[in-house]
Amino acid sequence: MFRRWLDDLPLGLAPLLIAAMGLVAGLYLLLHPVQRGEADLSMWVFGPLHADAYKMAAEDFSVRTDHTIDVQLINYNAVNQKLRSALWAAVNIPDLVEIEKSAAGGFFRGPLAKVGFLDLKPYLVRDHILDRVPANSLATYTERGAIFGLPHDIHPVMLAYRADIVDPYLARRGLRMEDLATWGDYFRELRGLCTAGQRYLLQIEHGDAWAFQIFLMQRGGGIFGPGGRLRMDDDTAVQTMTWMIPLVAESGDNQVAESLGNWDPSFYRGLIEGFYIAVLCPDWRTSQLEAFAGDLHGKMRLVPLPAATPGGLRTSQMGGTMLGIARSARNPELAWQFARQIYYGSPQQHGQLFRTTNIITPDRQAWNDPAYHEPRPYWCNQVLGEQFIALADAVPPFYSSGFLPTAQAKLNEAIVACYGRYRSHGVEGFEAYVRQRLTSAADYVRRQMAREPDWDAEE
Amino acid sequence: MRRTIVYGVLVLFSILCLVPMVWLAVSAFKANADFHAYAFMPPPDRLTVANFSSLFKQMPFLRFMMNSFFVAGVTVMVQLFFSSLGGFALAKYAFAGKKVIMGVMLATMMIPGPVLLAPMYELIYHLRLIDSHLGLIVPGMVNVFGMFLFRQSMQSVPDEMLQAARIDGCNEFQIFWHVVIPVSRPIIGAFCLIAFMGTWNSFLWPQIILQSSDRFTLPIGLNQMVGVYEADYGAMMAGTLLAVLPVVVLFFLLQKEFIAGLTKGAVKG
């Protein structure tokens, strides 16, 4: 009966099914309209956890002030593209927006008066917040004296290592991990744990610009310096590259670092199986390890990064997020009040975020919250918050630029080339080659910058 | 012996094709702590449905799904209407400029989609369709590929049948509806499935057009879960599994029509 009825349909089963699905969905949407009043402020956020927290904060803000905030979660890449289009077209610009650190510089180009964000320095000074924040955390978002973004985090980098493997090995030699003050000490004392193809002392990829930047900043360098000055080919960069590449490019047992991937399942698998015994670990990565390497519960510990040289810096930094208020914000003072609430609000609120994400806030006033002083069983009962807070003021500054993506792309090419060169020629003439490659990469970026000579000029 | 080898190779390739799907299905039921601990299948007692509840807690997943069904359903039906009519005209009518029109249509197929994004955005912006489902449906209403598909299929309908229908008193639309469409059913099935998958999986244009989360389609909604510093892989896998499911179910329901449509004309009588 059904088959016959079906055969009589001129269009057949496919359109019938698809039309039915569309119809049912249409009815559902019709019966479930979104009650959407125009909010007083709109905010774009790219982190799902941030969005959840801010939506709750917006409800609280609405109760206290009678003003509404529409918090929209937008994918990381989309937020940058949409914001750029919105600022260019002056259409649909959010009042508040969070941007990832490496993308921030691109939004601070042009005459200061035409930057799409408000200078928040007067607000920070007025409300006595400037002193509460480590100075270096503001470097990324400071452009020609103006502060266009509030730092959400600091992201000190530590060394996360397999305590169940390393500590007994060092104990037999009368040592502790804390005794290994430099990278030289680290690789020398743990060399016995390294077996080619089976176990390595550090997770670094062969063409890993991510690790390179961590090491570079630890040595006081950077891709860009203050004022957007390109410095990816200075002596610090050359020395860092000359030191880092052999870690992964040496052959046989002399290779001490290796990777199975940086962000994918194989990364966690490598750590769980002890393929590498330590990873460079910003605060945000610790929560990922807890979530995705559950088997290592009680087997991991954190120590400050070994320094490049005795007495050198024991940390670096990686990643970050800023909150900006659009120059076109409908109510800048209201936007500031909300920004202040979510970034420099109650210590309990930051403590809760720390418990969920392990990310420490740059607001010193929040560091007294109990959340930062709780032992963590996953990390052998180390007090994670105190560990990161102890390094917060030492975190080196990161200077962004509109040309950062270009510089990072050229740096990647240089790293891959240097790796290939070391594999084929060894140490012979390597430093000169590194210098030549970095200079060549930097020259390319400088040519690009020269094409827009007035990008940071005032009118 | 030869048959065994052929079947062996086919089975091997089938396994290769199915492994990612099975991995996706298994991953959707893995707890986050087990996600990387077990490369494939954890012990059955460790499987969990927590990812699905987490998915529905984290985002209005049902709404994303309904948005996708609505946009895909309407787009496919509108495309089917215009494509079949266009294909019919190109196949069965002689008119001035027909070859030029076909040439232009072919040329539009050769222009990469991203090139058209900026002018399309401007057009949709001026039509005030930004952040609306119409902004997704209107640009996809006419499908040139579909027109050519129908043209090729309808060319095989004998002109004598059309003449007979005219003699019986049918007008041109009645001929299209009562004579041509019923014999084009296989190609309709194939076209619907292809068009549905294209719309269902569409990512770039919706990402540009849609701004409010209550209007997001599934790919855009799922993409929100990918953070820079955090990612809930389990919930993402659960969401991806649910997003893939309608297409798989649809394919199984329509596979006869789909295959018949694609192989129509493969054997000459």
Q: For chain B, what are the domain ranges?
A: 1-47, 57-266
Alpha helix ranges (H) inside A90-200 = 101-104, 121-126, 163-172, 183-190
| Residues B255 and B190 sit within 8 Å (Cβ to Cβ) | no
The answer on pLDDT for B209 being more than 60 is yes
Percent of all residues in chain B with a pLDDT value above 90, rounded to a whole number = 38
Confidence category of residue B267, pLDDT binned at 50, 70, 90: very low
CB pair distance less than 8 Å for B66 and A74? no
ipTM comes to 0.86
Confidence category of residue B227, pLDDT binned at 50, 70, 90: low
Q: Which residues contact B115 (CB under 8 A, 6 or more apart)?
A: none
Please give the DSSP secondary-structure letter assigned to residue B96.
Answer: T
Q: What is the mean pLDDT of residues B76-84?
A: 94
Q: Give the whole-angstrom CA distance, residue A36 versus residue A42.
A: 12
CB pair distance less than 8 Å for A36 and B212? yes
Residue B257 in contact with partner chain A when CB distance is under 8 A: yes
pLDDT in tens, A182-199: 999 999 999 999 999 899
Q: What is the mean pLDDT of residues A156-171?
A: 96
pLDDT of residue B269: 41
Q: Can you give the length of chain A in residues?
A: 459
What is the topology classification, in CATH, of domain A41-154+319-344?
Answer: D-Maltodextrin-Binding Protein; domain 2 (3.40.190)
CB pair distance less than 8 Å for B70 and A22? yes
Domain spans of chain A, in order of start: 41-154+319-344, 156-318+397-450
Burial A62-81 (b: 16+ CB within 10 A, else e): eeeeebebbbbbbbbebbbe
CB pair distance less than 8 Å for A13 and B182? no
CB pair distance less than 8 Å for B228 and A28? no
Helix, strand or coil for residue A26? Answer: helix
The answer on pLDDT for A434 being more than 90 is yes
| Residues B151 and B90 sit within 8 Å (Cβ to Cβ) | yes
The answer on pLDDT for B136 being more than 90 is yes
Alpha helix ranges (H) inside A275-425 = 283-292, 332-344, 347-357, 384-392, 404-425
- Pick the closest to residue A404 from A48, A94, A99, A92 (CA basis): A99
In CATH, what class is A156-318+397-450?
Answer: alpha beta
Average model confidence (pLDDT) across chain A: 90
Percent of all residues in chain A with a pLDDT value above 90, rounded to a whole number = 64
Tokens of B76: 């496919």
The answer on pLDDT for A35 being more than 80 is no
| Residues B143 and B82 sit within 8 Å (Cβ to Cβ) | yes
Burial B47-79 (b: 16+ CB within 10 A, else e): ebeebbebbeebbbbebbbbbbbbbbbbbbbbb
Instruction: Tell me how far apart the 2 most distant CA atoms of chain B are, in Å.
Output: 73
Bigger pLDDT: B111 vs A301: A301
Q: Give the whole-angstrom CA distance, residue A205 versus residue A261.
A: 7
Quote helix, strand, coil % in chain A, to nearest 5.
55, 15, 30
- Pick the closest to residue A304 from A177, A420, A191, A214 (CA basis): A177
Confidence category of residue A367, pLDDT binned at 50, 70, 90: very high
Q: Which of B193, B224, B231 sits opposite A14 (nearest CB)?
A: B193
What is the topology classification, in CATH, of domain B57-266?
Answer: MetI-like fold (1.10.3720)
CB pair distance less than 8 Å for B193 and A78? no
The answer on pLDDT for B240 being more than 80 is yes
Q: What is the mean pLDDT of residues A210-221?
A: 94
The answer on pLDDT for A81 being more than 60 is yes
Find which of B228, B251, B258 to mutate to test the A interface (most A CBs within 10 Å of its CB): B228
The answer on pLDDT for A259 being more than 90 is no
Give the pTM: 0.74
pLDDT of residue A178: 93
CB pair distance less than 8 Å for A75 and B213? no
- Pick the closest to residue A391 from A150, A217, A142, A197 (CA basis): A217
| Residues A458 and A114 sit within 8 Å (Cβ to Cβ) | no
pLDDT of residue B201: 92
Bigger pLDDT: A352 vs A165: A165
Please give the DSSP secondary-structure letter assigned to residue B6.
Answer: H
Q: Give the whole-angstrom CA distance, residue B124 versus residue B211.
A: 14
The answer on pLDDT for A112 being more than 50 is yes
The answer on pLDDT for A263 being more than 80 is no
| Residues B166 and B175 sit within 8 Å (Cβ to Cβ) | yes
> Which residue carries 């937020």 as its tokens?
A79
Q: What is the mean pLDDT of residues B176-189?
A: 88
CB pair distance less than 8 Å for B212 and A73? no
- Report the gap between the CA of A457 and the closest CA in chain B (Å): 29
- Asked if A41-154+319-344 and A156-318+397-450 have one fold, the answer is yes
pLDDT in tens, A39-60: 899 999 988 778 888 888 899 9
pLDDT of residue A36: 64
- List Cα–Cα distances, A121 to A147, A149, A172, A392, in angstroms: 5, 9, 54, 21
Q: Can you give the length of chain B in residues?
A: 269
Letter for the amino acid at B189? G
Confidence category of residue A418, pLDDT binned at 50, 70, 90: very high
Q: Looking at A420-429, A433-442, B151-160, B206-215, which range is the least confident one?
A: B206-215
E strand residue ranges, chain B: none
Q: Give the whole-angstrom CA distance, residue A203 versus residue B45.
A: 32
The answer on pLDDT for B268 being more than 50 is no
Average model confidence (pLDDT) across chain B: 86
Confidence category of residue B261, pLDDT binned at 50, 70, 90: low
Q: Give the whole-angstrom CA distance, residue B85 versus residue B72.
A: 20
Residue A377 in contact with partner chain B when CB distance is under 8 A: no
Bigger pLDDT: A304 vs A401: A304
Tokens of A129: 């917040």
Q: Which residues contact A300 (CB under 8 A, 6 or more apart)?
A: A160, A161, A162, A163, A289, A293, A378, A379, A380
Tokens of A208: 């890993």
E strand residue ranges, A105-238: 142-143, 146-147, 150-151, 157-162, 202-203
DSSP string, A281-305: EEHHHHHHHHHH-GGGTTTEEEEEP
Q: Looking at A158-167, A438-447, B64-73, B217-226, which range is the least confident one?
A: B217-226
Q: Which residues contact A282 (CB under 8 A, 6 or more apart)?
A: A155, A156, A157, A158, A317, A318, A319
Tokens of A458: 């005032």
Q: Which of B34, B69, B229 sits opposite A294 (nearest CB)?
A: B34
| Residues A227 and A241 sit within 8 Å (Cβ to Cβ) | no
Confidence category of residue A266, pLDDT binned at 50, 70, 90: confident
| Residues B105 and B147 sit within 8 Å (Cβ to Cβ) | yes
- Report the gap between the CA of A284 and the closest CA in chain B (Å): 6
What is the radius of gyration, based on Cα positions, of chain A? Answer: 25
Q: Which of A26, A73, A319 sits opposite B229 (nearest CB)?
A: A319
Residue A19 in contact with partner chain B when CB distance is under 8 A: yes
| Residues A275 and A199 sit within 8 Å (Cβ to Cβ) | yes
Q: What is the mean pLDDT of residues B10-32?
A: 90
